[in-house]
Amino acid sequence: MTISRAFTLFTKKYFITLTYLFPLISVLFFVYIFGVNVPFWDEWVLPSFFQKVISGHANILDFFAQHNEHRIFFPRILFLLNSFISKWDVKIQMYLSILLVFVSFGNLYLISSKIKNKRQSLFYLTNIGTSFFIFSLTQWENWLWGFQVAFIIVNTCIISAISFLSIPQKMSINKKIVFAAACCFIASFSSAHGLLSWIALIPNLVLIEGNKKERISRIIVWMILFILSISIYLIGYEKPSFSPDVFYFWKEPFIAFQFLLIFLAAPFGSLVIPSIIIGAIILFNWLIFNILFIKNYNSSFAYEAAPWFSLGWFATLYALMITIGRAGWTFYVATTSRYTTTTVLLYISLLQIWRIYISHYSHHWQPLTKNIYRYFYICFFTTILICSLIPSTINAFAKGEEIWLQRSQGKTCLEIVAFLDKSVLEQSNSCINSLFFQPVNDKKIFLTLEELKLREFAKDIKFISQDTQAYGSINVKSTVDKPVLLSRNSSIKISGWITSFQGKKQPNIVLFSYGNNRSFFANASVKLNRFGYIKTSNQNFSKRYQWDISLPVKSIPLDSTVVKAWVYSSESKQFLKLDGELNIQKS
């Protein structure tokens, strides 16, 4: 081999490897800049569970306890371990999700590699597509929510099970099936849709080598394990009160079918082409390949494609499950980002099956037909890549910035929760309630976190009312002689601006106190849209941010008072007063 050819091969291999890893690097960067270490929504059910375990009052039923429709036995173990190792740094759970997806991609690559053919270009193209889909930022909601590692565990388990059954290994077939069954069991008790893994793996299980009697016996044992898993799952199961009518799809089949098509198209994001048409194209491709698989189930095509049919069937069954369970809600639910983590597996399945189909049947075609199919595959892949990943990535970064600001606001409020009045807890749009699915009633849950030493809450914070630096201002025209007159049940909308500080970080909340109180009765969210720079007293330029709020007057008990605005500096542990004051007099 000449030096130039060796260099060319090395460069090609390096470029392909870098292309494989690019989506992974993008996700790591995405979580690094937008991930926030603060509990969110469902994660708030865990402190009471941690407390039970630490106090020694927990038993197996506490791990097995129902969470909405799910049994999250194995995720609870991960959450508990993380609470001991990192004092419950939920960002570690986000990185764990990425690690699990990386393991999944590795298994998918190995499954794809077992198919030997001369079309290396198709092999590389397909697996690059697999990497881009499985690490797609379309899943931004799950990447930035540590609790959703439960979804990722299910995907990793079913892909691992397929890998055990598909990749040649130095172990007996029975051992392969045992390992695959263990993966399905873990998936079943990580999230409700994990139960579907037992059914989805049947195409792969049927085509494992062996005589007819052996195959039948394996299927029987497999179905017994499936029924056993369901039976355990249903012990003490109660249908959540918020769940819509599961028979809605029978009552409104046309609406349910539209929901299904929109759901299948969700990884594409917003496009000029209607989601229903995209979903129909995906579903049509899937049905055609299934007909081909059934008609040729004894062929080498079926044997090589079986793992991908199992993967595709898992995603399809999941789509049907969500349609049955959520079609009674709005179509918006079908586009929810967190569901795309499983839906993208159908796209990966189709890409891989197309590759196998072309490899197996192209030798029967005329040169013109062969080129048409090859170009169709390339065009199909390119269309998916451009129309799906690029717009969804742009949207993901916009959503990521919003989530970062919202949860940073919540994290700040959580740190200073000791200084928040009860009125803040009662406001649904307050910074502390942005972390909860429903407004909190009291501070007991925060005390639990403090008792378990999972969070530290600031106590000794100085109030700095005078400073040479201007941190921001309230835009008001009231004075001591001419206060704003308001009725007790009204509210007043005020606005202002605030500058960046703490190493040019964007401030996230403005806090409001009344009179000489050293606590806060309301907060305003700082907006993402920046509108310019100002020159500070030290001749440096700082970014300027807007905020506004409708202050609830009823939360101010005094008939006449002065409202002050503050910003919190987490680095110096100080509340810094903004310029200007609002003079209020209740009528």
Domain ranges of the chain: 15-404, 454-586
Lowest mean pLDDT among 102-116, 187-201, 299-313, 380-394: 380-394
Report d(CA 282, CA 202) in Å as an integer: 22
More confident residue, 235 or 553: 235
Both tokens of 233, joined, read 């799952």
pLDDT in tens, 426-448: 777 788 888 887 777 777 888 88
- CA–CA dist 108, 133 (Å, integer): 12
CA distance 98 to 101: 5
| Nearest 10 degrees: Cα torsion 216, 220, 221, 224 | 170
Looking at the DSSP assignment, which residues form a beta bridge with residue 540? none
Give the length of the chain.
587
Mean pLDDT computed over 293-299: 83
Nearest CA among 344, 386, 302 for reference residue 104: 344
- For position 293, what pLDDT does the model report? 87
- CB atoms closer than 10 angstroms to residue 115: 20
**pLDDT over 70 (residue 477):** no
Instruction: Tell me what percent of the residues of the chain surpass a pLDDT of 70.
Output: 82
Q: Give the lowest-confidence range in 191-200, 226-235, 490-499.
A: 490-499
Q: What is the mean pLDDT of the chain?
A: 81
User: Which spans in 35-67 are helix H?
Assistant: 46-55, 60-64
pLDDT value at residue 188: 94
The two three-digit tokens of residue 545, written as one number: 């941010």
What whole-number distance in Å separates Cα of residue 508 and Cα of residue 524? 9
Tally the C-alpha atoms within 13 A of residue 98's C-alpha that lie toward its C-beta: 22
CA 245-150-66 angle, 5° bins: 50
Nearest C-alpha neighbor of 143 from the set 37, 31, 306: 31
Collect all residues with Cβ–Cβ distance below 8 Å to 526 and sequence separation of at least 6: 405, 409, 498, 506, 507, 508, 509, 510, 545, 546, 547
pLDDT at 169: 67
Q: Rounded to 10 degrees, what is the CA torsion of 146, 333, 388, 400?
A: -40
Q: What is the pLDDT of residue 229?
A: 92
Torsion angle (degrees, nearest 10) of CA 246, 247, 250, 251:
-110
The pLDDT of residue 533 is above 50: no
**Whole-number Å distance between alpha carbons of 89 and 82:** 7
Give the dihedral of Cα atoms 420, 425, 426, 428; nearest 10 deg.
Answer: 120
Single-letter code of the amino acid located at 40 = F
9-23, 32-46, 367-381, 405-419: least confidently modelled range = 367-381
In the 3-class helix/strand/coil scheme, how is 351-401 assigned residue by residue? HHHHHHHHHHHHHHCCHHHHHHHHHHHHHHHHHHHHHHHHHHHHHHHHHHH
DSSP state of 366: -
CB atoms within 10 A of CB 53: 17
Give CA–CA dist 135/132, Å, rounded: 5
Tell me phi and psi for residue 463, to 5 degrees.
-100, 115
- Smallest Cα–Cα separation from 64: which of 74, 50, 78, 51? 74
- Cα-Cα-Cα-Cα dihedral of 238, 242, 243, 248, to 10°? 130
Neighbouring CB atoms inside 10 A of 283's CB total 18
Whether the predicted pLDDT of 242 surpasses 80: no
Pairing of strands 462-464, 70-71: unpaired
Closest by CA position to 310, among listed 209, 196, 225: 196
Give yes or no for a contact between 485 and 385, defined as CB atoms under 8 angstroms apart. Answer: no
CA distance 315 to 321: 10
Nearest CA to 350 among 424, 264, 427, 430? 264
* The pair of three-digit structure tokens given for residue 367, joined into one six-digit string: 């040169």
378/122 Cα distance (integer angstroms): 9
| Per-residue pLDDT at 536 | 45
Element (H, E) at 495: strand 491-499
Most confidently predicted of 32-41, 113-122, 248-257, 478-487:
32-41
Nearest to 181 by CA among 169, 198, 156: 198
Copy the structure tokens of residue 409.
Answer: 């606001």
What CATH number should be reported for the domain whose range is 454-586?
Answer: 2.60.40
203-213 pLDDT, tens digit each: 888 877 767 78
271: left (phi over 0), alpha (psi -120 to 50) or beta: beta
Question: Which tokens is 532 given?
Answer: 């310019």
Q: Cβ distance 70 to 191 under 8 Å?
A: yes
**Do 164 and 182 contact (CB within 8 A), yes or no?**
no
pLDDT at 485 over 70: no
